[in-house]
Every structure is written in structure tokens, then in C-alpha cells.
Chains A and B, each alone.
Chain A
Amino acid sequence: MGGFDVLYLFQGIATLVGGDPGISIGRIVLIMLGLLFVYLGAKGILEPLIMIPMGVGMAAVNGAVLYLSATNQGTIFIDPMVSDPAPLLDALQINFLQPIYTFTFSNGLIACLVFMGIGAITDVGFILMAPFSSMIIAICAELGTILTFPLAVWMGLTFKEAAAISVVGGADGPMVLFTSLMLAKHLFVPITIVAYLYLSLTYGGYPYLIRLLVPKKLRGIKMDLKNMPKVTPGEKIAFSLITCTILCLLFPVAGPLFMSFFLGVIVRESGVKRFVEFLEGPVLFGSTFFLGLLLGVLCEASTILNPKVLNLLILGMFALLMSGIGGIIGGYAMYFISKGKFNPVVGIAGVSCVPTTAKVAQKEIQKVNKHALILPYAMGANVSGVITSAIITAIFCTLLR
């Protein structure tokens, strides 16, 4: 027992003490951040579905760094950098989350699974009830994506990296994940974390943006719901099939995303109860859980500490802010086109964070006028936003891949 070293027993602490000081400080900060995410998620301030598994993953992975060999430090959670077949096979047998990462993240499957679930909880009938306003608002709500791309290039990012971060403006997590995996794999961890972090904050931040940009008088406008047409499931299925096929023909590179989304929609409308329950339950929540957990585990200090992260934080916030402003501009455009009958707050729902932004719009309006219901219009803009974001993703992937 004479040669026993206590630090050998507690290797997490030994690597913290003996490692690069920058990385060690990074590890401590990330552990604290992970604990904070869990706390804020549990309190409901940030989105708990993502933040709780992500926070636990972040705290655990940064604590569990050990000596893999005499000179080499690492974890037995995951190795995101390994790609050659032989080391990958080793990693699959050692790192417990490696199989999920390798078989669902690196090929974009996790984004598609989330999208299938989103499709299964989405009613495309809302777009067909008010197609014109939904499309106008959704296009305007891409302002953040459009403006962030040149700004990111100006800040020194490559075209591919700029495209990946600007998609945050679409406010659609799976889309950001898919684009960054396709175009900037080396930055997909920080970009996706920035995206999910900010998406969690939209629920708290957008109400202030609405109050700042839309006067109280306009926020209380009551919209006409009596003339909303009813769309049959058959029409929704036919519309989804045609739209899916056309979009796949135009943008094959984003075909998996389109197929996943519209498959969810069609399953929902076809009324196959077992499949609907499967997609909106185990598939959506299972993939969201592992998405959060793996994002957290990928936040190991030596992987995530990248000088570009600060730029990504600024650009992500700019993209979401500008998209919110763009959406409200779209709402104002519809207000003027309809000669004052359209509530401009609906515009914020064009930012396709389904169904968060639609709920935010409804909540803000009801604070001013308890009898004002805008949710069908907001959901139309919301779903249209998802499709518009997917089209923009497809354009970026097609042009830059």
C-alpha cells in the first residue's frame, strides 16, 4: 500500500489537477453550466425536455475524464472524432453512447426521427385554412437566416459554417442539427447547443419583443374565426403527398427531412392510431431525450472549446432576434393587406419553433383581449415556418454541400 496514490483512485480529479489548465477551467465551467441547465430546466425556465438530459450529460462527461493510457486522457462516454473503421469498431465496444452517436447522429437520423414526431403532432390543415397569410409570415420570419449568413461570412466563418449557424434563424432544432451535420460537422456540437439553448429562451424572450414592436391596441385585435374553412383528412394527405414529392424532386439532399415530416403528417391524418401513438410518443420523446443527452455528453471541454464558439453565440442570438422581428414585419404586412383585420402578433408564430411561438402569440394577445383567439392562424404560420425552414435548409445543403 506504500506506493498507493489517492489521485489514481479519483482519476476525474487527477486529470483536472494534472491536465492543461485551460481545459481544466473549461471542465469546471461546463460542469457548473450543466448543473445550471438542470436547475433551469426543472424550474421550467428553459425547455426541460432538452435541458435536463443535456445538463446531466454535460456535468457527468466533464467530471468523468480519466487516463485512457499513460499519456492520453478521455472518457468512456463517446468519441466524436473517430471515423476510421478499426478505431471506430474499438470505440463502439468501449464507449457506452458510441453506438447511438454513430448510428443516429453522424447520418442525421436523429433529426429525421424528431421530425417524424413533429409531423405526427402537426396539423397541416392550419396552413390550408389561411395559406396566403401563413406563407407571407413564414417567408418574412426567415429574415434572421437571410441576414445572418452574410454577417457570419463577414465575421470570418466559411460559407458552410455560416449556412449552418444562420439556420438557427429558422428556430427549428432538427433542421439546425441536420444542416450542421451536413455542412459543418466539426462545429455541429457548439452550433446545435447554441440553437437549443436559444430556442429554450424564445419562450421567455419573444413576449418582450412582441410588446416592444406591437402597440397594445393592435395586440388586442380580434380575428375572424367563423370563416375558417374545414379541411378534410383526405385533402391534407393528398396535399402532403404532393408537397413532399415536389420538394424531394427539387431538393433530394433534404429528402430525408421532407419525407420524415410528411410521413408524420400523413400517419396522423390517416388515423392509424397505433402509428400515431408510436410517432408522437416513443419516437418523438425518445429521440428528443437522446438528442439532449448526447448533446450534453458531446460538451466535453477538450471538444467544445473552440475560438469560433463566441462568434456562434453572437450569430445565433442575432439570427433568432432578426427572425422574430421579420415575423412581426410579416404580421404587419398582413395587417395592412387585410385593412386592419389581422393581428400583427401572429407574425411571431412564423418563427417555426412548433408550437412554442404560436402559444407565445396567443398568450400575449389574451393578456390584452381575453376574447381574442388567433391560435389557428398562428399554427398555420408556425407549420408554414417549418416547411419554409426545411426549404431554406435544402437550398443551403444543395448549393454548398
Chain B
Amino acid sequence: MEPLRRDITYWIAGTIVSLVGVAIVKLMAPSIQGNLAKWLAALGYLLSLGGIGIIAMHIRKNRKEGGVIKEEN
């Protein structure tokens, strides 16, 4: 679990971004009328999946820069 603890900022950031996205989709968008609601919902979905993407991208980036690969070399 060591690498997980080391990258905790990115894990938290990614999770928060995703949850903000969920909040936009489930809470904000339904309370707004018209086209803005659709755009907000789309933004929310993107943020939610983007948050997961942040975590995924960081795991790879971090490993390549200073993690397992460098240690192995």
C-alpha cells in the first residue's frame, strides 16, 4: 500500500473531482430548467469520468518517473 499512500493527493483530488461531477449530475442539473441543465449534466458526467482518469493517469506517470521502473533499473 506504500505507493498508494505516497500519491494520496492525486487519489483524493481524483475522487473529489468525480464526486463533484456526480453532484452536478444528480443535484444541480435536475434543479435547473432548459438547455443549461443538459450542458451541466454533460459537464458533470465528464468531470466524474475525468476524476477517475486523473487517478489512472497519475499512477502511470508517477511509476514511470520515480516509482517501480526506476527502482528496477
B48–A239 touching, CB < 8 Å: no
A227 to B65 CA separation, bound complex (whole angstroms) = 10
Size class of the A contact interface (CB-based, 8 Å): 20 to 34
Given contacts A242-B18, A250-B25, A250-B48, A135 and B53 within 8 Å (CB-CB): yes
B69–A227 touching, CB < 8 Å: yes
Taking beta carbons and an 8 Å cutoff, which residues of B are in contact with A?
1-4, 11, 14-15, 18-19, 21-22, 25-26, 45, 48-49, 51-53, 55-57, 59-60, 63-64, 67-69
B57–A246 touching, CB < 8 Å: no
A239 to B56 CA separation, bound complex (whole angstroms) = 8
Q: Out of A130, A226, A227, A234, which one reaches B4, CB within 8 Å?
A: A234
B64–A250 touching, CB < 8 Å: no
Q: Out of A130, A230, A234, A242, which one reaches B55, CB within 8 Å?
A: A242
A20 at the interface (CB under 8 A from B): no
A230 to B70 CA separation, bound complex (whole angstroms) = 11
Taking beta carbons and an 8 Å cutoff, which residues of A are in contact with B?
127-132, 135, 226-227, 229-232, 234-235, 238-239, 242-243, 246, 249-250, 391
Q: How far is the CB of A231 from chain B (nearest CB, A)?
A: 6
Given contacts A230-B68, A242-B52, A250-B25, A130 and B15 within 8 Å (CB-CB): no
Q: How far is the CB of A242 from chain B (nearest CB, A)?
A: 6
Which residues of A sit under 8 angstroms from B57, Cβ to Cβ?
Answer: 131-132
Most chain A CB inside 10 Å of its own CB: which residue of B15, B25, B63, B67: B63
Which residues of A sit under 8 angstroms from B53, Cβ to Cβ?
Answer: 131, 135
Most chain B CB inside 10 Å of its own CB: which residue of A128, A131, A230: A131
Q: List 12 A-B contacts (CB under 8 A).
A: A127-B56, A131-B57, A131-B59, A229-B60, A229-B67, A235-B4, A239-B52, A239-B59, A243-B52, A246-B19, A249-B48, A391-B49
